Amino acid sequence: MKKTSSIRRFGVSAMLLMAVACCQGTCDEEAVSTFPEMSGPYLGQPLPGLEPRLFAPGVVSTGMNELNSVFSPDGTEFYFTIEGPRRWVIMVSNLRDGSWSKPEAAEFQGRYGGVDMAFSPDGNRLYYCSLRPLTGTGEPSETADIWFVERTEDGWSEPINPGPPINSEHHEFYPSFTTDGTIYFQSRRPGGPGPGDIYRSRLVDGEYRVAEVLPAPVNTEESEGDALIAPDESFIVVTARSADGSSRHADLWVSFRREDDSWTERIPLGSAVNSDQGENCPVLSPDGRYFFFTSRRIVGISGEGESYDELHERWTQPAFGHRHADIYWVEASLIEALRPEEK
């Protein structure tokens, strides 16, 4: 599994396999010898304004590749993904006794790993994407499915595959939910205008109905992925290149839903969010106040020292220039400010 130009591409199934053994439970103790005390909402981080801010630098956003951030609806669990060479690991930090725990590998993912986490509206299910085989054992699947785990008295259940109409014989990625349980996701199944399109399945009487591909301008002949649906279904943020193919990397775009279920033309989220290095993984905080996303932007860190220690300190920082992915957050009001006035 590989993120290329911020649109997810599965080349071979081994890309989602990970050495969870090295991260299951706890990561290398020497790598994080001291863990900072963090308390309060959002891991105790200073709140952002209308300019994106790195989220939890040195803890979540580091010199590694971090993406796919999501808080539980009650704000007491934080999940994100670490990308390594041919490895993906879902990490979790919990708010316990007023303090956030050191991130650990989520146990439910097993050796198959996972990515693209999303909570059900009631917080009792955690959905994610994995190459886990339907049998739960053996070699990884050749196609990615959407899976979920359910809360139990002891934590999370074993992973469950919801099957069709959500999953198909093709790749499915990035679930996102409305308040009433409607699921939006990306699929590579045939039937859409592009190689990867955004689909929607309504939850009716506890069952998901046939998935429908969203019309233009949400979907195009290009590939769309990593779609965030607003809880009230008033807008959708998608990851895509420009329609004319002029952009090398994918950006984040918003379309607003009209009363007749049509969508406005896609609008880029602007230079504050989009960079020349690619953005993806859009997520809203549980209260809807903050917008999280992943970026490979290069910020750079100044410094004149050339000793090993000085170089190591600078070059392993987030956003230094390695095109590593980091997690950013910003006030979500910037999205609504883009809503066009229509007669």
Cα-to-chain-centroid distance, residue 47: 20
187 falls within a domain: yes
What is the per-residue pLDDT across 197-221, written as a single tens digit (0 to 9) for each?
Answer: 999 999 999 999 999 999 999 999 9
Q: Which of 259, 276, 339, 330 is nearest to 45 (CA)?
A: 330
Residue-number span of the structural domain to which 292 is assigned? 2-336
> Can you tell me the mean pLDDT for 42-65?
93
> Can you tell me the mean pLDDT for 78-99?
90
76 falls within a domain: yes
72 falls within a domain: yes
Domain count, the chain: 1
341 falls within a domain: no
64 falls within a domain: yes
Is 90 exceeded by the pLDDT of residue 231?
yes
Higher pLDDT, 254 or 342: 254
Beta bridge partners of 200: 184, 212
pLDDT at 14: 42
What is the per-residue pLDDT across 106-138, written as a single tens digit (0 to 9) for each?
Answer: 999 998 999 999 999 999 999 999 999 998 888
HSE-CB at 181 with a 13 A cutoff on CA atoms is 12
SS3 112: helix
Lowest mean pLDDT among 85-89, 224-228, 279-283, 303-307: 303-307
pLDDT at 164: 96
- Note the pTM of the prediction, 2 decimals: 0.86
> Can you tell me the mean pLDDT for 93-113?
94
343 falls within a domain: no
58 falls within a domain: yes
269 falls within a domain: yes
Q: What is the CATH number of the domain that holds 63?
A: 2.120.10.30
